[in-house]
């Protein structure tokens, strides 16, 4: 079904590309899954009375992989439609993402940097969600092996001095040292107590290496551990005491305390459970909501957790995709030739984005989701300050180095507001030399508003389906300009939104990006578009939008509407829940999410607290043998 939805949107998209001159691939690798990527519709939403007035539900159309959520009927009027329960999560094993595997190896062995896998199996390049359906294919396994070889060279000098020191010199004494070492290392790596067979089996690996020397034996075991399925995969199977009935079906269950520890650590830390989490699992305190809440409160004070949650937010907003965007060099004329390295600029923008999110979520920041929409702050170094001029600095001084980032305030005249006008966001959702109303609009529609899934396929076999032959006329005439005369994104958007077959989709997507027209392909402020036309960022929203019937001008008005309506906070709940359970939730008006929305205090920390203590997040359906 998801493939059918993906095909449907590609058919509509192809029609619009042909009829209205849209450039490039609408998908643009926006899929949130660390799986196949691409586009997946999810379920059709039902009317919502919580946090998304007027939309009546939603669904993100981005992302491949599985979708959580039952079907329903979209209600453009919103209001009183009953909520839809989420489909329960099945018992499963869940492969670590490439980044999680690298972070886990780093933390397990105390490395200075995480190994970087370039082969990631079916994992999408700009994945937001780590899809539980991912597997380890042959290229990824070979890459992990090669990385493990590199890791052994990095730890070679520390194996016998700090990792597995041994004062004994006899074979028997060294075997005892090796046994003690691997009992501790493997339990940490596997995130659970070891069974009776695992240490003896690993010691067989040691014995082979020990034929050379003690260090080689230890290194062999380390390599075996970080390549093992118990390290590469998380389990969410419940207690080992579960037994199947006569039909082979297992009863429904909840995660074990050790599985909860892994859920918390890989969600919040992106890596192995730390010592306190492991101890909490061992004591059984992670069996209760109060015990989980205690650990969440502790973890949110850990710098590594704060950094990881910041990166989750940026991944949700698709910021990392800017590294795939090579921009027109004419956009960098304000910089000296030595400063025009786009890779360096993109790295600057990522750092600036991280600093910006950190300033809101942590330290003296409010931690409020709303501030991500309304903040007037930006972080810049010398290069970015030159590229984005007109800023006001607290101490009155612009940065004089590319290695130092300082906070600044946007000029009020530019009409910026929060994440939607941060340069990294705008850069990532734009084409090389134009803004791409389609890409920006779709990203906001799907992932920041969490609006309803877009319509299904359109029959393009009849002539009437392709009756748009001119820029602004539903019928062709000698006086009408040809489509080639649509020399700007705005004119193309006008055509898409006025006439079929593209009106149905684009009237819902395009307005979200047209409020941002004052910001160019790299997030630069402008008053005219790429064709020299004066920009008017005024939009009116269609009845099926959460902002049905409203007219808005510019980013600040739209951002305020996103906050005051609860749409942004409600979508954040949907996206973070999708991240935690590993499946894109396609229905806005779900019973479980509505409960979370009612519990949220408006902070990112509060969102994760209510989410991770929820029963449905820890529940698993039985499955079969």
pLDDT, tens digit (0-9, with 9 covering 90-100), for 539-560? 999 988 899 989 999 999 999 9
Report, as an integer, the average pLDDT of 566-595: 95
* Cβ–Cβ under 8 Å, residues 538 and 553: yes
Burial 394-412, CB ≥16 within 10 A → b, else e: eeeebbeeeeebbbbebee
* pLDDT higher than threshold 70 for residue 250: yes
Is 542 exposed, middle or buried (CB count within 10 Å of its CB: 0-12, 13-18, 19+)? middle
Residues 6 or more apart in contact with residue 581 via CB below 8 angstroms: 68, 89, 617
pLDDT at 27: 43
Other CB atoms within 10 Å distance of the CB of residue 479: 7
614 in Cβ contact with 592 (< 8 Å) = yes
For the stretch 253-304, pLDDT in tens is 999 999 999 999 999 999 999 999 999 999 999 999 999 999 999 999 999 9
- Give tens-digit pLDDT for 180-221: 999 999 999 999 999 999 999 999 999 999 999 999 999 999
pLDDT-based confidence at residue 50 (cuts at 50, 70, 90):
very low
Q: Mean per-residue pLDDT for 518-541? A: 93
In terms of pLDDT, which residue wins out, 90 or 469? 90
pLDDT at 494: 84
Q: Say how far apart CA 56 and CA 545 lie, in whole Å.
A: 9
Of the two residues 132 and 456, the one the predictor is more confident about is: 132
- Decide: 397 and 490 in contact? Cβ < 8 Å: no
Q: What's the sign of the alpha-carbon dihedral 460, 17, 448, 124?
A: positive
Q: What is the pLDDT of residue 22?
A: 36
> Is residue 1's pLDDT more than 80?
no
List, for residues 392-405, the tens digit of each pLDDT value. 998 889 999 999 99
Residue 505 Ramachandran class (φ > 0 left, ψ -120 to 50 alpha, else beta): alpha
Candidate ranges 50-54, 83-87, 149-153; pick with highest mean pLDDT: 149-153
Per DSSP, the residues of 267-335 read: IIISS---HHHHHHHHHTGGGSHHHHHHHHHHHTTSHHHHHHHHHHHHHHTTGGGGGG-PPPGGGGTTS
Element of type H or E holding 170? none
pLDDT at 464: 44
Q: At residue 133, does pLDDT exceed 70?
A: yes
Give helix then strand counts, H and E, for the chain. 23, 11
- Between residues 4 and 430, the one the model is more confident about: 430
Distances in Å between the alpha carbon of 4 and those of 10, 26, 457? 10, 17, 9
Q: Average pLDDT of 73-81?
A: 43
Cα separation, 148 vs 111, in Å, equals 12
For residue 36, pLDDT over 60 is answered with no
For residue 570, give Cα distances in angstroms to 50, 363, 602. Answer: 8, 24, 10
User: How confident is residue 450, by pLDDT bands cut at 50, 70 and 90?
Assistant: very high
Q: Average pLDDT of 80-106?
A: 93
Query: Is residue 349's pLDDT more than 60?
Result: yes
Q: What is the pLDDT, as a whole number, of residue 330?
A: 95
Query: Please, what's the largest Cα pairwise distance for the chain?
Result: 97
Dihedral (CA of 545, 547, 549, 551) sign: negative
Cβ proximity of 132 and 123 under 8 Å: no
Q: Which residue has the higher pLDDT, 343 or 131?
A: 343
Average pLDDT over residues 6-27: 36
User: By the 8 A CB rule, do 542 and 548 touch?
Assistant: yes
Residues near 153 by beta carbon (within 8 Å), at least 6 away in sequence:
none
DSSP, res 211: T
pLDDT of 5 strictly over 80: no
**What's the confidence (pLDDT) of residue 333?**
95
- Mean residue pLDDT of the chain comes to 85
Residue 468 is predicted with a pLDDT of: 44
CA distances from 257 to 20, 289, 491 (A): 55, 11, 57
Answer whether residue 57 shows pLDDT above 60: no
Q: Residue 233's pLDDT is what? A: 97
CA dihedral (65, 69, 72, 76) in degrees, to 10, reads -80
pLDDT of residue 391: 97
Which of 439 and 16 is assigned the larger pLDDT?
A: 439
Q: What is the pLDDT of residues 335-346, one digit of tens each?
A: 999 999 999 999
Residue from 35, 90, 42, 93 nearest 67 by CA = 42
Q: How far is CA 622 from CA 89, 240, 255, 612, in A?
A: 9, 13, 11, 21
Residue with the larger pLDDT of the pair 412 and 486: 412
> At residue 331, what are phi and psi to the nearest 5 degrees?
-80, -5
Kindly tell me if the per-residue pLDDT of 52 is higher than 50.
no
User: What does the block give as tokens for 566?
Assistant: 């609860």
Q: What are the helix (H) ranges across 156-252?
A: 171-190, 198-210, 214-226, 229-232
Does the pLDDT of residue 43 top 70, yes or no?
no
Cis peptide before 241 (omega within 30 of 0): no
Check pLDDT > 90 for residue 504: no
Is the distance from CB of 450 to CB of 575 less than 8 angstroms? Answer: yes
For 230, the token pair is 């118990």
Q: Tokens representing 615? A: 């029963």
Q: CB of 210 within 8 A of CB of 171?
A: yes
The DSSP result for 18-64, as a single string, is HHH---S-SSTT---BSSS-SB---PPP----SS-TTT------B--
Instruction: Give the highest mean pLDDT range of 347-361, 497-511, 584-598.
Output: 347-361
With beta carbons less than 8 A apart as the criterion, state whether 468 and 499 touch. yes
């Amino acid at each position: 079904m998801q493939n059918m939805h993906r095909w449907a949107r590609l058919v509509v998209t192809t029609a619009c590309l042909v009829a209205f001159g849209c450039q490039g691939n609408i998908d643009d690798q926006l899929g949130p899954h660390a799986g196949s990527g691409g586009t997946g519709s999810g379920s059709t939403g039902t009317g919502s009375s919580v946090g998304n007035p007027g939309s009546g539900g939603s669904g993100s159309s981005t992302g491949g992989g599985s979708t959580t959520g039952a079907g329903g009927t979209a209600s453009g009027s919103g209001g009183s439609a009953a909520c839809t329960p989420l489909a329960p999560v099945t018992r499963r094993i869940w492969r670590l993402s490439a980044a999680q595997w690298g972070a886990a190896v780093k933390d397990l062995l105390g490395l200075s940097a995480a190994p970087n896998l370039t082969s990631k199996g079916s994992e999408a390049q700009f994945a937001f969600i780590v899809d539980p359906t991912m597997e380890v294919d042959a290229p990824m396994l070979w890459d992990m092996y090669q990385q493990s070889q590199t890791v052994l060279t990095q730890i070679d000098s520390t194996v016998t001095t700090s990792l597995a020191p041994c004062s004994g010199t006899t074979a028997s004494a060294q075997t005892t040292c090796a046994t003690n070492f691997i009992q501790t290392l493997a339990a940490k790596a596997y995130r659970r107590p070891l069974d009776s067979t695992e240490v003896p089996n690993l010691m067989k690996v040691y014995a082979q290496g020990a034929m050379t020397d003690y260090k080689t034996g230890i290194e062999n075991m380390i390599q075996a551990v970080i390549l093992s399925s118990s390290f590469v995969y998380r389990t969410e199977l419940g207690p080992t005491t579960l037994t199947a009935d006569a039909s082979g079906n297992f009863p429904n269950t909840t995660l074990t305390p050790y599985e909860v520890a892994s859920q918390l650590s890989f969600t919040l830390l992106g890596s192995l459970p730390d010592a306190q989490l492991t101890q909490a699992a061992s004591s059984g305190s992670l069996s209760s909501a109060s015990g989980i809440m205690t650990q969440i409160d502790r973890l949110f004070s850990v710098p590594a957790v704060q950094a990881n949650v910041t990166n989750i937010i940026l991944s949700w907003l698709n910021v990392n995709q800017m590294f795939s965007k090579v921009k027109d060099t004419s956009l960098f004329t304000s910089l000296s030739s030595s400063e025009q390295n786009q890779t360096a600029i993109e790295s600057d923008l990522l750092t600036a984005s991280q600093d910006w999110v950190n300033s809101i979520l942590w330290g003296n920041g409010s931690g409020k989701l709303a501030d991500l929409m309304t903040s007037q702050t930006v972080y810049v170094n010398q290069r970015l300050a030159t590229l984005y001029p007109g800023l006001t600095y607290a101490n009155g001084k612009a940065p004089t180095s590319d290695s130092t980032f300082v906070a600044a305030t946007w000029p009020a005249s530019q009409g910026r507001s929060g994440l939607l006008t941060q340069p990294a966001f705008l850069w990532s959702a734009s084409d090389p030399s134009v803004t791409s109303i389609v890409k920006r609009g779709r990203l906001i529609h799907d992932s920041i508003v969490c609006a309803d899934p877009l319509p299904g396929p359109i029959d393009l076999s009849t002539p009437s389906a392709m009756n748009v032959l001119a820029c602004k006329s539903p019928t062709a005439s000698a006086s009408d300009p040809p489509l080639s005369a649509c020399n700007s994104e705005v004119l193309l958007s006008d055509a898409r939104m006025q006439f079929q077959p593209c009106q149905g989709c684009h009237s819902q997507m395009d307005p979200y990006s047209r409020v941002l027209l004052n910001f160019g392909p790299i997030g630069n402020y402008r008053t005219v578009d790429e064709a020299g036309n004066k920009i008017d960022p005024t939009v009116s929203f269609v009845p099926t939008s959460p902002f049905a019937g409203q007219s808005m001008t510019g980013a600040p008005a739209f951002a305020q509407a996103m906050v005051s309506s609860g749409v942004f906070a409600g979508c954040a709940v949907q996206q973070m829940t999708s991240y935690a359970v590993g499946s894109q939730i396609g229905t806005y008006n779900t019973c479980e999410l509505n409960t979370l929305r009612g519990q949220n205090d408006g902070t990112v920390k509060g969102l994760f607290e209510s989410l991770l203590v929820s029963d449905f997040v820890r529940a698993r359906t039985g499955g079969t043998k």
